[in-house]
Structure 1
């Protein structure tokens, strides 16, 4: 079973890490979860910022 990675440079999902690790978010168990990677990061950042206030 392959892992999926989100490339923050190309904004594409990769099956298995194909790019340099510094450009990837993951691994994710499904392509769908990898496609939502940036939304998850943004939501976490917003929550963390709210905790600091």
Structure 2
């Protein structure tokens, strides 16, 4: 994906563990992911607001 500046960026943002009662600052690994794939207009090449999961 590209941001407004034209740089390629990742959408995944790692989350820190916050389990009760002892939160830690360790980053938790992904167990399951869900991806939404945007549909692109074939003529303009722009995202049309629809997606597939």
Higher helix share: 1
What TM-score, normalized by structure 1, do the two folds share? 0.17
Structure with larger Rg: 2
Report the TM-score, using the length of structure 2 for normalisation. 0.17
Specify which structure has the bigger relative contact order, considering alpha-carbon pairs within 8 angstroms and separated by 6 or more residues.
Answer: 1
